[in-house]
Structure 1
Amino acid sequence: MTEQTLMEALALALSGGSESPAWKSFAAFLRPACAADKEVAEAWRRVVAGSTEADDVWALACAVIRHIERDDAFGESLHGWLTDGPARAAAIARSEAAEHRNVIDGRSQVWGSVVQARDIAGGIHIHQTPPARAVVPRQLLPVPAHFTDREDDLQVLARLRASRNAVAPHVIVISGPAGVGKTTLVSRWLQEREAEFPDGQLYVDLHGFTPGEPASPAEVLGHLLRAFGQGEVPTTLPELAALWRSMTADLRFAVVLDNALTAAQVRLVLPSSPGSLVVVTSRNRLTGLAVDGAAFHQLGLLDHGSAVELLSRSVGRERVDDERSAAHEVVMLCACLPLAVCLAAARLASRPERSVASLVEALTRGLGPLGALRVEGARTLQAVLDESYGVLSREATVVYRRLGLLPTAVFDTAMVGAVCALSEVEAEGLLETLTDMNLLEEIGAQHYRFHDLVRQHAAQRGSEEVASVQAETVRRFVDWCLTVATSAEEVLTPSHRNLGSREYLFAPAAPVSFMDESAALAWLGTHREALMGAVRSAAKAGWETTVWQLVDAMWPMFLRLRLYDSWIEAHELGLQAARRAGDRAGEARMLTSGGIGLRSVGRYDDAIVWFTQALDLAREDGNTRDEAQALNGLGSSYRGAARLGEAQDCFSRALALREAIGYRRGAALSRLRLGELALDAGDHGKAIDHLDRALTELVAEDDTYDATRARSLLGFALARQGRRESGVRELNAALGDFGVSGSDFWRARTLEMLGQVAHDGADESAARAFYERSRVIYSSISPMDTRRVERRLRELGPETPPFDAEQH
């Protein structure tokens, strides 16, 4: 039973007047329902009051239908009344019509055309013009001529459509950040499927993110009903919704609901027709529509090539080809966001006399793309991001602004909780809010990042905070980085002594711990950008002790991940801060740790200067341990500079000092260095003696990382001495351990040594495979080592193609 069926029955009963037997019968039947259901009672009250308007009868029919859904017994009774009541009403109507005289008064009933005249001569001809066929609505927005790519997204939408439930209306939600091209994509997709929707394609902007109130469901339903030719529409939402469902029950059409803010804004507009398709676009994910059977697609940015193509189609391929490098830079500054690229293109198109390079210059000044990408008559990038920001809750705006103050684009719940003084649960909820709004992108479990242009907007909003709030936010961030980095350091390099207590203003309430080395190293790798940002921010703020202590806590990140640029920059800042603070212990630590970074990139002369300064400090302070550390580093720098005699002297003096003070681990490391030096000289027996003892002592000291280094070098020495099987076994064991500990540099170095061993054994195929694996790892961490392995590959000569018997 439908609302339409019931309305027709009620109208027929009512046609006999409120005193007719059929209507009285229905009134008696409906009385219990009125007592049980306020909605039915209110609708009935309006009809009884004398209203015979179709809207009121329709409202009564809708209320009764909803009551039936809650009361099965009432539904059965209604079915009985419909069987009897309307038939009785029709019989009465026919009887009254038979007795009717041609008198037009209050009891007259007229159907069709009527002529009222005293005398008629001749025939009467009544001509009726058939009603004009309603225009099929085709309201999709036009697709710009420069629409680019999106083939993968179009295919996804096609698959979602193909997998629909054929007996229910189909709903697809397309979400993505502001300016990513959601509406254009939908228009393009639906334009290609016009034949699938013979009754029309409608479009409504729900204004979910524009200033002012979003479009109400009543406004939207009114628009949709009028699009289908309904002249007069009801004024109440229930009546509008009921009429919308009834009018479209048998139609095949598509509706685009653009810029939706919430699932509730959409839900009341959904039709009932199984032939219908509703495509919703939103900056929110609108996951609440899952209960309505919606399918979801997240629209991402264009890839770089497609973004350049979009620019080319907009301003002319020749112009872009003439300044290819500048065009690529424009696209990068626009972060491949279609709206930003289109605004940049419009600016170029309106200034044909200017170069593409001039736009690059404009986009890198002042407020950057947010301020520069303004075109008359178009929604600017600043405007669309302001709209998204404007609909956030107060709590979410606070988090958004404070994240904009941080020197990182990647966040996790623990960091945000510490920075915003929230619990992790509260932080996670607000991060999810920003993610649902597509202001953040989720990149892993509880990890998020800003889109480049959104980050600029968040920074702009963050700058509106008072100075004290800005300073506290950054300080909380720096202290959180120092706290967690220290915890990672304790797991990864427990022998690395902390020099005094760490300096905090806002130490996190809950201690941070890591289950194992892998977890600690993974955290350092994920947060390397944040950690370097914290170092720079602390240096800029003048928090001197915090600067060098944070650099010191990051030691295992530099040691294991070999991020040389960051390694050297951080230690230069740390050294300056320790000297300004007058902290000699901190200065010595920065000199020795930083010197290792300089030596590792081949800056041997600079490293020798740093280690010499560290040696002088240690001797002035009478610190034997630091003196031996400086000598060990100085020896490694001399070795890199091929000054092997001076290297031998430094290593031997360091070993003697360390043995004298009982520093067993340090002595083992000096022996490891002497073993490397013996390998360089080709004295494999001496190398094995040093490395074997170093391995034993480092295992006893529970220094697994350095013990594995010793094992790798020992394996290489054994193989070079001629004990190849034993050597390869040790090298493979070390390779496995480095894989577990996450040391990419030493994995690459061990693979390189395995390649050398294979080359020594004339197994060029195996050597090439080992070198290639080594080169791939080195390429992302050490240009100097990459070049060396590439030379080894060239020394092997061109690769010999495999023998093919069919060709011979």
Structure 2
Amino acid sequence: MPDTPPIIAVLTALPIEYRAIRTHLTDIETEVHPTYGTRAEVGRLPDSPWRVALLETGGGTHGAATLTERAMSWFSPEAVLFVGVAGALKNDIEIGDVVVATKVYAAHGGKETPEGFMSRPETWHAPHHLEQAARHVLRDERHVHFRPIAAVDVILTDSSSTLAELIRRHYNDAAAVETEGSGVATAAHFSGTAGALIIRGISDKADTNKTAANATEAQQMAAANAAEAAVAVIRQLKPKGARPNDFDTVPAPELAVNGTDNPVPIAATTLPHRNGGFTGRSAELSCLLPQLAPAPSGSTAVPLLASAVTGMGGIGKTALAIEAAQQACSLGWFPGGTLFIDLRGYAGEPVAADQAVLALLDALGVRGPDLPQQKARQYDAYHRLLSERKDRMLLILDNASDPAQFLRLLPGSDLHRVLITSRDRPDSLPVRLTGLGELTSDESTALVTRALHDADEHDDRAEREPDALRELAALCGHLPLALQTAAALLRRRRHRDIASLVTRIRDADDPTLVLNNGSRGTDLYGRPLAVRPVLDDSYRRLHPDQARLLRLLALAPGPETGPEAVAALADLGMETSLCLLEDLAATHLVTPIQVGQGPTAVVRWRPHHLLRRFTAAIVAADANFQKEGEAARERLLAFYCRWATAADDRLRWLPGRPAPERFASRAQALAWLDTERVGLLAAVQWAQEKKYTRAAVRLAERLAEYLSQRRYFDDLITVARTRRKAARRIGDRQGEAVACNNLGIALREAGRTEEAVDVLTHACDLFQAAKDRHSEAGTWNNLGNALQAVGRVGKAIEAFTHARDLHRAAGDRLREAAAWGNLGSALRETGQAKEALAVLTRARDLHRSTGDHPAEATAWNNLGNALGDVGRVEEAIEAYNKALENCHNFEDWYGAGLAFRNLAVVHETARHPAEAHAFWLKAADAYAQADAPTEAAHARTWAKALE
């Protein structure tokens, strides 16, 4: 073989990998080994000094080792690369990504013993000079990972197989699995060279979907991406003995820091491109801009150390910082210009302050022989330059993950301003913070609409599908990065509607996998439009205790969770739990939400929608995390059941009975139930899972009275149906009957009276079959209400009479009183006024004797109606005022609305329009407070008619 030009050997296993490399070569010639007949193609790599010898080994370790040894003895290459496809072993490695192997494990080596398999790992590390070249040229490629790989001589297509478990247990840092790497590494090692660099594109997830992935041309994409990475590495290499200027096409190495191979970043003296699609953030801008403004003449105020824009990854921190900087510069606030540097705080290798100061000095004109050699002198020079500058400058330190990255870079001069962006709040420093949260729904839809119009002014999908666009924004969690990624996907799917993308995201187990932009595009700052890597970087930086709590929060019912519930979920003390939540809030992975005002205010904790789905997918993929999650959900259900029971007992409490635990008053019980309502209702739905059925059914039972009193009838319908279904599944006929009774009540109150009659009739039958006369009596009472509502008053009177008799026989005076009241109302409807008055007086007296003041208020209202029927108006007014007194004492706003309505009717009948008008307005306010908008609207209509 000729001595020049220099040559590199590239080997592949498959034809698709071979073709991916070959497309990068020119002047290709075929060479045949004179002894073995092995064929290779040798071509030139344009814009480089290199020729490339390309060989196809076929699949398997043996063939790869043989052809690698032959290529090295045949061509004497200066470097060997093995390039191809592999299966991902980690959730953060996506199809199409590239893994550069830092080491290769031969994963089959070991010994089978009675105690189990004993791994005897065989490991080959990547050649240092090749790995360094790869890191240099590929470090900013977010889809390239420098991780170990596992090599096995079989094709892995089942992530639950014995082999897969072996790899996870003994080689758990391996990011990918393939079949030839160990053979190549072995041959390179025994040849006496430094070894071979393995570069693999990810074509599948090493699971049962492998065939489907290949069918979608994932192999072709993976092979192409691996080939591009390999070619980029080759172009970074210089032939042995080459002088610096021998090959102009080979880039000169960047300046190293402290003798290491870490390159100095670039500090830009102009701001990055302004985001033309910048949307919303008016409040944040109005807060941030004054922090950048020059101090008023003669001001003695102490200038800020720095300003910081903080928020979760993808929330738009850099975009806001650039927008604020551009506006400040347009106002002439920084005649000395700007310096911008990306500290890459959440990338694989963050920029250290020692690297950043060299970049800043270079931007300020200090380089070459003028650059001090000692690090301390470099910082001195930097601060001296800034202090000597009379023109005001703005320094933007983007993407900082640790104060150590920027503290030594802060100017010593009070003249200049510093703007930092970070996912972490620098709480230990006196830095003025501007926190970013999610965009509003309108801002989110505007962002996507503008992105579509900017790409194609004729794209009218946003206008045609406003509902789908709003749902898309909600599925993206109103996160700017997710919205931009969704817009990029819509541009790529330009012939499909928005609803199709909504369906794909909604149906995904982990929507962050969908929001990874298959186009591999970037934003205006060169950062990938992909949500998952951002969340993964944030998650991996957490302390194990913080990561555990975040995983468990993803399993909590409802979008946000109270501190007591979080402590129960995590099995931690309240103080420990709060400290961890505050740590997560400092990294913007959870958001504190204040509920209420003043001393009764409660802070609840909410992870972002996409982060919740992301961490839930992490739990689903790990058996240990699943077991931990199941135990956490059982603890939370027990917590909810205990305190929902105590709250329910307080709502039903009557004088003379033992006081329930915890809640000293009805108001306290209602406040707790109101605060926890969303989580409680969501936890009831866990009844669909067998292991939680009985606990969730108990919880549903304890919410019925609360939901009825608060008139949350849609919620009560949902809870009752869930309970009925669960009871049927476990064969609990009594539980089914109770659920049907509650469902019937809710259906009647929601106006679905015919359904209510059917359901309550079935409940009566179930209680009769169970010989539960007490519960049967209550259900007859409810059935009577439903029958009366559908106009079958005669049947209703029969039902109320039967209920009354059953309650009287059981000695249940409380429920007997309710039956008397309902019977009286039915008698009024049939025109039997005197009989009704006597019955309703009996109901009032029974309620007073039992001490059931909320029910007594209802009795006073009904009695007032009967008194009015017989012309005893003054007594009727007195009865309504008694009802109001009880309703106000127990915050029964719906009952108060009824009383005000009745007072309005009485005064209107007596021709007192002013008084009637006032009572109609009071009725409207009470109904509104009771969340009864229909009744409130009717009251306002009657009031308006009297104006």
User: Shorter chain as normaliser: what TM range?
Assistant: 0.7 to 0.9
Matches of 1:596 and 1:564, distance apart in 2: 9
4+ aligned runs moved over 6 Å, structure 1: 795-799
- Could you report, residue by residue, the CA deviation over 1:8-44 in whole angstroms, capped at 9, with x for unpaired residues? xxxxxxxxxxxxxxxxxxxxxxxxxxxxxxxxxxxxx
Q: Does 1:773 align with 2:911?
A: no
SS in 2 for 1:442: strand
Shift of 1:452: 2.0
The aligned counterpart of 2:653 is 494
Change (3 A) 1:772 1:239: farther
Contact 1:716/1:728, CA 8 A, preserved across alignment: no
Change (3 A) 1:302 1:754: farther
- Could you report, residue by residue, the CA deviation over 1:670-697 in whole angstroms, capped at 9, with x for unpaired residues? 2222343345456666555444543443
Matches of 1:233 and 1:168, distance apart in 2: 30
How many matched pairs?
644
Contact 1:659/1:667, CA 8 A, preserved across alignment: yes
Say which of 435, 441, 457 aligns to 1:304: 441
Say which of 279, 289, 292 aligns to 1:148: 279
The aligned counterpart of 1:360 is 502
Structure 1 stretch displaced more, 152-161 or 183-192: 152-161
The aligned counterpart of 1:377 is 521
Structure 1 stretch displaced more, 482-491 or 330-339: 330-339
Shift of 1:552: 0.8
Shift of 1:706: 2.2
Contact 2:780/2:799, CA 8 A, preserved across alignment: yes
1:653-672 superposed matches below 5 A: 653-672=802-821
Q: Does 1:469 align with 2:469?
A: no
Change (3 A) 1:234 1:411: farther
SS in 2 for 1:645: helix
Paired amino acid for 1:218: D
Matches of 1:235 and 1:726, distance apart in 2: 99
Contact 1:173/1:279, CA 8 A, preserved across alignment: yes
Say which of 337, 362, 365 aligns to 1:229: 365
The aligned counterpart of 1:255 is 395
Contact 1:463/1:470, CA 8 A, preserved across alignment: no
Change (3 A) 1:355 1:328: same
Shift of 1:397: 0.7
Contact 2:920/2:942, CA 8 A, preserved across alignment: no
Matches of 1:709 and 1:483, distance apart in 2: 30
The aligned counterpart of 2:384 is 246
The aligned counterpart of 1:325 is 467
Say which of 326, 349, 359 aligns to 2:491: 349
Q: Does 1:274 align with 2:414?
A: yes
Paired amino acid for 2:393: F
Matches of 2:773 and 2:804, distance apart in 1: 11
Shift of 1:632: 0.9
Paired amino acid for 2:512: L
Could you say which structure has the larger radius of gyration? 1
Contact 1:631/1:651, CA 8 A, preserved across alignment: yes
Q: Does 1:603 align with 2:747?
A: no
Paired amino acid for 2:363: A
Say which of 546, 549, 574 aligns to 1:396: 546
Matches of 2:341 and 2:884, distance apart in 1: 61
Paired amino acid for 2:366: Q
Contact 1:250/1:275, CA 8 A, preserved across alignment: no
Change (3 A) 1:617 1:175: same
Paired amino acid for 1:180: I
Say which of 467, 471, 481 aligns to 2:640: 481
Shift of 1:494: 3.2
Shift of 1:187: 0.7
The aligned counterpart of 1:186 is 321
Paired amino acid for 2:567: G
- Could you report, residue by residue, the CA deviation over 1:639-673 in whole angstroms, capped at 9, with x for unpaired residues? 11121111122212222222233212112222222
Contact 1:548/1:590, CA 8 A, preserved across alignment: no
- Could you report, residue by residue, the CA deviation over 1:259-285 in whole angstroms, capped at 9, with x for unpaired residues? 222345443332221112122222222
- Could you report, residue by residue, the CA deviation over 1:107-126 in whole angstroms, capped at 9, with x for unpaired residues? xxxxxxxxxxxxxxxxxxxx
Matches of 1:234 and 1:699, distance apart in 2: 92
The aligned counterpart of 2:337 is 200
Change (3 A) 1:179 1:655: same
Matches of 1:720 and 1:205, distance apart in 2: 81
Matches of 1:587 and 1:362, distance apart in 2: 37
Change (3 A) 1:751 1:460: farther
Paired amino acid for 1:438: H
Matches of 1:339 and 1:182, distance apart in 2: 10
Contact 1:474/1:537, CA 8 A, preserved across alignment: no
- Could you report, residue by residue, the CA deviation over 1:463-486 in whole angstroms, capped at 9, with x for unpaired residues? 233142232222222222212211
Change (3 A) 1:479 1:274: same
SS in 2 for 1:255: strand
Shift of 1:728: 5.0
Contact 1:270/1:278, CA 8 A, preserved across alignment: yes
Change (3 A) 1:684 1:274: farther
- Could you report, residue by residue, the CA deviation over 1:43-94 in whole angstroms, capped at 9, with x for unpaired residues? xxxxxxxxxxxxxxxxxxxxxxxxxxxxxxxxxxxxxxxxxxxxxxxxxxxx
Change (3 A) 1:657 1:325: closer
Q: List alignment gaps of at least 5 residues for structure 2.
A: 1-265, 523-527, 595-601
Say which of 642, 651, 666 aligns to 1:517: 666
Shift of 1:726: 5.8
Paired amino acid for 1:437: T
Change (3 A) 1:287 1:624: same
Matches of 1:275 and 1:520, distance apart in 2: 57
Matches of 1:672 and 1:603, distance apart in 2: 22
Change (3 A) 1:637 1:610: same
The aligned counterpart of 1:220 is 356
Contact 2:306/2:432, CA 8 A, preserved across alignment: yes
The aligned counterpart of 1:336 is 478
TM-score (norm: length of structure 2): 0.63
If each structure's helix is expressed as a fraction of its own residues, which one has the higher value?
1
1:682-761 superposed matches below 5 A: 687=836, 689-715=838-864, 717-718=866-867, 727=876, 731=880, 734-735=883-884, 738=887, 741-757=890-906, 759-760=908-909, 761=912
Paired amino acid for 1:412: G
Contact 1:488/1:521, CA 8 A, preserved across alignment: yes
The aligned counterpart of 2:92 is none
Contact 2:727/2:736, CA 8 A, preserved across alignment: yes
The aligned counterpart of 2:772 is 623
Say which of 418, 426, 431 aligns to 1:286: 426
Matches of 2:782 and 2:640, distance apart in 1: 28
Matches of 2:924 and 2:353, distance apart in 1: 63
Paired amino acid for 1:477: L
Change (3 A) 1:430 1:608: same
The aligned counterpart of 1:569 is 718
If each structure's strand is expressed as a fraction of its own residues, which one has the higher value?
2
Matches of 1:531 and 1:367, distance apart in 2: 24
TM-score (norm: length of structure 1): 0.73
Matches of 1:687 and 1:237, distance apart in 2: 97
Paired amino acid for 1:766: A
Contact 1:488/1:524, CA 8 A, preserved across alignment: yes
The aligned counterpart of 1:549 is 698
